């Protein structure tokens, strides 16, 4: 298993590569646009560790004991990103979550994120070419969602032995030391869900990330090392 400090370096490298790639698009998203900031955002325990450290350093960990951070009784994530993709690649039907919790994220204060520097990738990928406040629907450019989904898969793959669920659920578990009761086990990459006509759009992101060096090895080598 890759040591946790290296996993966090890899995560930061992935965030940076995505930010550079996403900057090539012109999105309407601005500070104060918070339509996508709901309790349905998912993440891994690797990302959760970063949020927990951020809150502890700021003396804010007690926030996680508030009722707003407790998981909804009827909310259960059906499968992780990689198990979802794996089922699709095998041609199997996938049982989706029965409902989404579209209440505002507990970290959202005055339309701004209270953990912005350490927000999970599930938050970072949200973007729209047009304002989605009126319709509630994001318009993404071709290839963008495929590229973002691939990186969601990478993060889950790197967190070998970790857990995956909604941000609220995982933080509740991490705060009480019972994370296994809230999340699903992470799974390795079964393949990527990229349509043939999207490959040329996503390749610059993936190839650039794979070539980056972290602690003496390429990102691609670390991906291979993370396989169970």
Q: Which residues contact 92 (CB under 8 A, 6 or more apart)?
A: none
Domain boundaries, the chain: 4-225
Strand partners, 123: none
CA 37 – CA 20 distance, rounded (Å): 22
Q: Using alpha carbons only, how large is the chain's radius of gyration in Å?
A: 17
Q: Looking at residue 223, what is its pLDDT?
A: 97
Per-residue pLDDT of 20-36, as tens digits, reads 998 887 776 677 776 78
Please state, rounded to an integer, the average pLDDT across all residues of the chain. 88
Q: Could you report the per-residue pLDDT of 176-189, keeping only the tens digit for each?
A: 888 888 889 999 99
In the chain, the percentage of residues whose pLDDT exceeds 70 is 89
pTM of the entire structure?
A: 0.92
Digit-coded pLDDT (tens) for 95-154: 665 557 778 899 988 888 999 999 999 999 887 667 766 666 777 778 889 999 999 999
Lowest mean pLDDT among 32-41, 83-92, 126-135, 187-196: 126-135
Contacts of 219 (CB under 8 A, 6+ apart): 10, 13, 14, 209, 210, 211, 212, 213
Q: Pinpoint the alpha helices (H) of 67-198.
A: 81-89, 121-124, 144-158, 167-176
| Distance separating alpha carbons of residues 141 and 95, to the nearest angstrom | 27
On the question of pLDDT at 70 being above 80, the answer is no
**DSSP-assigned beta bridge partners for residue 4:** none
């Amino acid at each position: 298993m890759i040591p946790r400090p290296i996993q966090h370096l890899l995560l930061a490298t992935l965030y940076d590569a995505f930010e550079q790639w996403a900057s090539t698009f012109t999105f309407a998203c601005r500070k104060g646009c918070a339509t996508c900031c709901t309790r349905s955002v998912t993440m891994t325990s690797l990302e959760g560790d970063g949020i927990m450290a951020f809150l502890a350093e700021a003396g804010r960990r007690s926030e996680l004991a508030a009722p707003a951070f407790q998981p909804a009784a009827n909310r259960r994530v059906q499968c992780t990103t990689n198990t979802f993709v794996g089922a699709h690649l095998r041609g199997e039907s996938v049982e989706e979550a029965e409902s989404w919790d579209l209440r505002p994220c507990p970290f959202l204060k005055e339309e701004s994120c209270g953990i912005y520097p350490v927000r999970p990738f599930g938050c970072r990928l949200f973007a729209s070419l047009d304002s989605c406040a009126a319709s509630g629907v994001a318009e993404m450019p071709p290839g963008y969602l495929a590229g973002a989904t691939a990186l969601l898969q990478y993060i889950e793959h790197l967190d070998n032995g970790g857990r995956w669920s909604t941000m609220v659920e995982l933080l509740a578990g991490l705060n009480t030391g019972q994370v296994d009761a809230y999340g699903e086990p992470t799974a390795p990459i079964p393949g990527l869900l990229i349509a043939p006509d999207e490959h040329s759009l996503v390749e610059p992101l993936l190839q650039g990330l794979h070539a980056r060096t972290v602690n003496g090895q390429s990102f691609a080598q670390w991906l291979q090392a993370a396989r169970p």
